């Protein structure tokens, strides 16, 4: 009933790569966030901690931006592939009906 998925190796490989990147970004975010310090540092001796907090916050912002964007791209690509597979299977079903 479904079209040959062997003919869609490239598309499925791209989808797998996108999913892998999204998962890698999620894991990267998890490990960055694990070291995040939520305390407010106000004394001069804690000035280096403020820099570390700023660095972690900027990394988290970058990962969040790209993570959201790539998640949306992956979802749209997956839905487009699903529609393509369903369309091809519908076409094959129509050909079977017409030839019988």
Domains in the chain: boundaries: 5-38+53-99
Query: In this structure, are residues 33 and 85 in contact, taking their beta carbons and an 8 Å threshold?
Result: no
pLDDT value for 22:
97
pLDDT value for 55:
84
Q: Does the global pTM surpass 0.85?
A: no
Half-sphere exposure of 82 (CA within 13 A, CB side): 6
DSSP-derived letter for residue 37 is -
Instruction: Classify burial at 22, counting beta carbons within 10 Å of its beta carbon; exposed 0-12, middle 13-18, buried 19 or more.
Output: buried
Angle 14-94-1 from CA coordinates, rounded to 5°? 50
**For residue 93, which of 5, 3, 8, 4 has the smallest C-alpha distance?**
3
Average pLDDT, integer, range 89-97: 80
67-91, pLDDT tens digit by residue? 999 999 999 999 999 999 899 888 8
16-50, pLDDT tens digit by residue? 999 999 999 999 999 988 876 665 656 666 666 66
pLDDT value for 48:
67
pLDDT value for 54:
79
- Which of 38-46's residues contact partners 24+ apart within 8 Å by CB, and which partners? none
pLDDT at 58 over 70: yes
């Amino acid at each position: 009933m479904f079209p040959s998925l062997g003919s869609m190796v490239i598309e499925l490989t791209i989808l797998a790569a996108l999913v892998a990147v999204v998962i890698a970004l999620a894991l990267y975010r998890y490990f960055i966030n694990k070291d995040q310090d939520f305390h407010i540092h106000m004394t001069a001796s804690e000035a280096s901690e403020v820099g570390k907090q700023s660095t972690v916050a900027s990394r988290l912002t970058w990962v969040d931006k790209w993570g959201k964007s790539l998640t949306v791209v992956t979802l749209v690509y997956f839905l487009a592939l699903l529609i393509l597979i369903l369309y091809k299977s519908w076409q094959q079903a129509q050909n079977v009906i017409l030839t019988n």
